[in-house]
Amino acid sequence: MDQCLIVCICFFFIYSSVLGKILDKQPDFVKTCLITKPRDEFINCSTHAVQILFNEIPKGNKDIELQVLDPLKVSVVKILQGGGGPVTVNASLTDVTILGFGNTKILFNSVDPETYDFYTKLHLPKLRIDGNYELLGRILLIPLRGKGTCWFDARDLNINVKSDVILEQRNGFHFFNVTKVHVKFSIDGLKLHMGNLFEGIKALEDSTNAYLNANWKPVAESLNPILSRTIEDIMIDILQKVFDNIPADFFLGDIIKNNKDREMKQKNN
Ligand SMILES: *[C@@H]1O[C@H](CO)[C@@H](O)[C@H](O)[C@H]1NC(C)=O
Ligand SMILES: *[C@@H]1O[C@H](CO)[C@@H](O)[C@H](O)[C@H]1NC(C)=O
Ligand SMILES: *[C@@H]1O[C@H](CO)[C@@H](O)[C@H](O)[C@H]1NC(C)=O
């Protein structure tokens, strides 16, 4: 098991680790739920609340220094995966445009009342990625080499996200510090094109693209770890921008009560 996967993502906008401004007034797109309510009621409320949040944030938000997410512009994605799996690639994507986050449907959201970790299920009807690629490696055992433009068109993505959260206090508010996200996802269709494969041997380029499209399922499966990591890196950046700057108290109206309940429970155990 010497699989090693490195994904490195640079956005156009992150050149500072400076936090945006804390929103000390609750914005319209943040709806408050009560975590001490019965579980079903809370999950229904928080699923709706996260949907309202996701209807708004893809437009971008200057107050919290959140860039536009649809289209999302990423300057560089670098991927290095060695080891003996079906994929061995050394690849980079530059000038990347990702379309589709604006149509995110939230199927489920819950917050763990003990740890405050988030569990979220999302559905994206379409996700389209355009960019310039440079690739050397193997996918499905086919050796690939190329440099040019590419696009990927994925249909019906179901994404399960667990976000590790630490509840913190500063500036008189609670905040969710999202420290890690774990992504699992599946897709129901994939079309792709890599231009200038094999540096312009057109017949080989066409037959390889045709083969990869005809075998999109195993291609998607073999790229799953790479894509999961890429989605994780994009999501943690978005979630940190949102939750570093918008107090947790606007999302959960009863954090103090919940913490007291938690302490009581711990004492009784
Ligand atoms: C779920 O939440 C929505 C919006 O807050 C509300 O309209 C609906 O009545 C709730 N459904 C249940 C079963 O509680
Ligand atoms: C990956 O590609 C880059 C750029 O072509 C190169 O500098 C690097 O050495 C390669 N790494 C491996 C492990 O092949
Ligand atoms: C979040 O927690 C990590 C780990 O404890 C810490 O290094 C980081 O500074 C925290 N971030 C914020 C914005 O408080």
User: Residue 60 maps to which CATH number?
Assistant: 3.15.10.30
Q: How far is Cα of residue 37 from the mean position of the Cα atoms in its chain? A: 29
pLDDT at 19: 56
Q: What is the CB-side half-sphere exposure of residue 85 using CA atoms within 13 A?
A: 21
Which amino acid type is present at position 155? R
Q: How far is the CA of 31 from the centre of ligand 1 (A)?
A: 13
* Whether the predicted pLDDT of 130 surpasses 90: yes
* Whether the predicted pLDDT of 58 surpasses 70: yes
Indicate the pTM of the whole model. 0.87
Q: Which atom of ligand 1 is nearest to 31's Cα?
A: 5
* Whether the predicted pLDDT of 169 surpasses 90: yes
Q: Could you tell me if the CB of 45 is within 6 A of ligand 1? A: yes
Q: How far is the CA of 26 from the centre of ligand 1 (A)?
A: 21
How many domains is the chain partitioned into structurally?
1
Which range is least confidently modeled, 7-21, 36-50, 77-91, 164-178? 7-21
Owning domain of residue 50: 4-268
pLDDT tier at 90 (50, 70, 90 boundaries)? confident
Angle at 103 between CA 100 and CA 104, to 5 degrees: 100
Locate 74 and state its tokens: 């990423």
Locate 119 and state its tokens: 């569990």
* Whether the predicted pLDDT of 18 surpasses 90: no
Atom 11 of ligand 2: nearest residue by CA position: 90
* DSSP-assigned letter for residue 232: H
* DSSP-assigned letter for residue 132: E
Please answer whether residues 99 and 127 qualify as being in contact, where contact means their C-beta atoms are separated by less than 8 angstroms: yes
CA distance 99 to 102: 8
Find the ligand nearest to 44 CA: 1
